Amino acid sequence: MINVITIDREYGAGGGDIAQKLAHRLGWKLWDELLTTEIARILDCDCGAVEEREEHRDPLFQRLFKAFMRGSLEGTQQAHQVRMVDADCIREAAEKVVLRAAEEGNCVIVGRGSWYHLQANPAAFHVFVYAPLEEKLRRLKSRGETEDEPETVDRDRADYIKQYFDVEWPSRSDYHLMINSSLGDDAVVDIILNSVGVMEGAGAR
């Protein structure tokens, strides 16, 4: 029986909004902002520090600094004094939270590599939400988010996933359903629920 749905998404495609509606419809727990909060708790840092680095590679200067810390005797001796919230530790913490959330079940999990971490979980259904550029720009503008271009953010996310999971993003074989959010959020939620029902019915036969 499916008791976990992961929502992966292009930037600006509305995956977070769809996940929220889906969780509300099912009466399930939503792991989106809550996931960020839990990661921050594990790392003992502010949520803002996690949000800044989630699903992004570290900037070049930070990668160079980490290389120095790992490669020099002085850096090794002082490493315990330097607390750095970076992509490495966020990814590790995210995996722990995602696995724990899936173990509890009855939840919708947004991004953070959840589709990857739960590939072997037979109770998980994986969705990828995409949209045409004009639809993504419309959604972002409606939320007052116009600073980042969707293509730039998605390229950064693809680089991050390639580095940490060694897969091309998005990989069609990793998802049960890929859906265009320009159909409308409610329609997308309906299609996801119908698809889960079809998958469960097929498994029952």
Q: What's the confidence (pLDDT) of residue 188? A: 98
Contacts 24+ apart (CB under 8 A), 34-39: 35/94, 35/97, 35/98, 35/101, 35/109, 35/110, 35/112, 38/97, 39/90, 39/93, 39/94, 39/97, 39/112
Provide, rounded to the nearest whole percent, the portion of the chain with pLDDT above 90: 60
Distance CA 51, CA 123 (A): 28
Higher confidence at residue 19 or residue 36?
Answer: 19
Mean pLDDT of 50-55: 71
Joined together, the tokens standing for residue 127 give 């969705």
Q: What's the confidence (pLDDT) of residue 59? A: 46
> Does residue 146 surpass a pLDDT of 70?
no
Per the DSSP assignment, residues forming a β-bridge with 126 are: 6
Mean pLDDT of 63-84: 42
Q: What's the confidence (pLDDT) of residue 89? A: 86
- Reported as a pLDDT band with limits 50, 70 and 90, residue 201 is confident
- Reported as a pLDDT band with limits 50, 70 and 90, residue 82 is very low
Q: What's the confidence (pLDDT) of residue 183? A: 97
What is the domain range of residue 131?
4-204
Residue written as tokens 């980042």?
A: 148
- Reported as a pLDDT band with limits 50, 70 and 90, residue 79 is very low
The total domain count for the chain is: 1
Q: What's the confidence (pLDDT) of residue 52? A: 75
| pTM for this predicted structure | 0.83
Q: What's the confidence (pLDDT) of residue 55? A: 61
CATH number at residue 22: 3.40.50.300
- The pLDDT mean for the chain works out to 85
Per-residue pLDDT tens for 85-105?
677 888 899 999 999 999 999
- Reported as a pLDDT band with limits 50, 70 and 90, residue 72 is very low
